Amino acid sequence: MAGLLEREVNVLNIGLKQFFTSLDDQDVKVLHVEWKPPVEDDEEIDDLLSLLL
């Protein structure tokens, strides 16, 4: 395990931009992929959202 901590860190960040920014600010090699889980069409959720909007 100690050897793992002695190597350069390379990170693939998927999703939250804040994680990418935090690592990038620390000069960690990081690649950000903008991704969101697919949304299923749900009539009940659509109705609730329409009440909010």
pLDDT at 9: 86
Taking only the tens place, the pLDDT of each residue in 5-52 is 788 889 999 989 999 999 999 999 999 999 887 777 788 888 888 999
In angstroms, rounded to a whole number, what is the distance separating the alpha carbons of residues 16 and 8? Answer: 22
The answer to whether residues 11 and 23 touch, using CB atoms and an 8 Å cutoff, is yes
Residue 53 pLDDT > 90, yes or no?
no
With a threshold of 0.75, does the pTM exceed it? no
3-state helix, strand, coil in the chain (%, to 5): 45, 20, 35
- Confidence label for 1 from pLDDT (cuts 50, 70 and 90): low
